[in-house]
Amino acid sequence: MTFTRYAIYYAPPATADWSRFAASWLGWDMETGAELPHPDIAGLDVAEITAVPRKYGLHATMKPPMRLAKGQTQAALEDACAALAARQQPVTLDGLQLARLGRFLALRPVGDETALNALASACVRDLDPFRAPAPEAELARRRAAGLSAEQDENLTRWGYPYVLGQFRFHITLTGKLSKPQLPLVEDALASHLLPLLPEPFQINDLALMGEAEDGRFHLIHRYALSG
């Protein structure tokens, strides 16, 4: 399969009850590259609610999607991901919680995020030689949304505003919701997903992802954190 962009994700374990439900909620299985039936929840159009994040699959971004720099190859990136994971230790947090990020809903970690943020920073820094510079149109689009000085500096240096000090680990569950939708969707996820969430929450590997020509992200390989 040919990929147009690559990313490093935290990809939840495919067999856990919580991630099986959440992947079905989004409607895309990035492990198998197949669409999943949405859960039938009265009063909610789950397909519409999840249309925007669906193509990315169930994930938290560690190194944002990037085009390969000139002279770089997928094979070399795979080797670099393996070396990175071999230097990093697994991360354990107290759990996960449902959170509002503006008008989106996501899962956010509970507990001390110091080690988690350090892992994300290592992904951004160590793999940056593989990133092609972002096109000017993309930079302009991100700046048009309004960025702080630090976010703009990140965009210029790393190709994305929300890295390093601006990073917030999150597993996106919805697109932008209307104000009336927010509590309804929140209640549904609180009922169906929250009871399944793990305690503690562990990150044991990193996932190299590829964006196919159809715009969907597919799992290429998992790399165990073994440092």
The separation between the first and the last C-alpha atoms of the chain, rounded to the nearest angstrom, is: 31
Share of the chain above pLDDT 90, in %: 93
Question: What is the full DSSP assignment across 74-110?
Answer: HHHHHHHHHHHHHH---EEESEEEEEEETTEEEEEEE
pLDDT at 135 over 90: no
Q: What is the pLDDT of residues 160-195, one digit of tens each?
A: 999 999 999 999 999 999 999 999 999 999 999 999
Whole-number Cα distances in Å, 49 to 119, 141, 152, 183? 30, 24, 30, 13
Q: Where are the domains of the chain?
A: 9-221
pLDDT value for 73: 97
- pLDDT (mean) for 107-121: 98
pLDDT, mean over the chain:
96
Give the pLDDT band of residue 111 (cuts 50, 70, 90).
Answer: very high
pLDDT value for 227: 83
Q: How many C-beta atoms surround the C-beta of residue 96 within 10 A?
A: 25
pLDDT value for 134: 87
pLDDT value for 170: 98
pLDDT value for 88: 98
C-alpha 96/C-alpha 77 separation (Å) is 30
pLDDT value for 113: 98
Superfamily assignment of 9-221 in CATH?
Cyclic phosphodiesterase (3.90.1140.10)
pLDDT value for 186: 96
